[in-house]
Amino acid sequence: MNTISFIGGIGFQEVLLIAIVVLLFFGGKKIPELMNGLGRGVKSFKEGMNGIEEKDSSADTVKKEE
């Protein structure tokens, strides 16, 4: 099964075209900065989700103790 099938059957040629357009818009020097920012955003999101899960589990523990 294709992992990108939810996009509507996007293939290698389309991905390559998108990569070339992004490279033209942002240039080679700006792309690493963009990816770094994207990585930080994903990391922050995951940490936030873990924080929510920890708060939920600690709230359940408090309810069980009462």
For 16-53, how does the pLDDT look when each residue is reduced to its tens digit (9 = 90+)?
A: 898 889 888 888 888 888 889 989 999 999 988 888 77
**In terms of pLDDT, which residue wins out, 3 or 34?**
34
Number of H helices, E strands in the chain: 1, 0
Q: How far is it, in rounded angstroms, from Cα 50 to Cα 58?
A: 12
Q: What is the DSSP string of 4-16?
A: TGGGSS--HHHHH
* pLDDT of the residue at 59: 59
Q: Do residues 48 and 42 lie in contact, with contact meaning Cβ atoms separated by under 8 Å?
A: no
